[in-house]
Amino acid sequence: MNMIIAYDITDEKRLVRVAKVMLDYGVRVQKSIFEVELTHRSFRELKDRIEEIIIAETDGVKYFPLCEKCAGTVEIIGQGEFTDPDHEYYIY
């Protein structure tokens, strides 16, 4: 499934940790926004890893699923790159 994930983390150390986790799954498109393509299993894994880091009372993470049709209609104005949803990502 294609997703846009955005987060707002109040503590800099947690912010860096969340960003590192996100880099394991997708591509940063803005400072706190990532495009990811996940299986249901990897989505659950990602959420579990994020939930271990954040403090729900002060931090926030939003997961926006994109249908295939929607993902194919992404428009970019100004700076930015199209992220090919068929591109392979390697998790180390």
Residue at token pair 């994020």: 50
Question: What value does the mean pLDDT take over residues 75-92?
Answer: 57
CATH of domain 2-71: 3.30.70.240
Domain assignments of the chain as residue spans, ordered by start:
2-71
Looking at residue 92, what is its pLDDT? 47
Q: Tell me how far apart the alpha carbons of residues 50 and 19 are, in angstroms, rounded to a whole number.
A: 10
Q: What does residue 49 show for φ and ψ, rounded to 5 degrees?
A: -65, -40
Q: What does residue 75 show for φ and ψ, rounded to 5 degrees?
A: -115, 140
pLDDT tier for residue 11 given thresholds of 50, 70 and 90? very high
Provide, rounded to the nearest whole percent, the portion of the chain with pLDDT above 90. Answer: 66
Question: What value does the mean pLDDT take over residues 37-65?
Answer: 96
pLDDT tier for residue 88 given thresholds of 50, 70 and 90? low
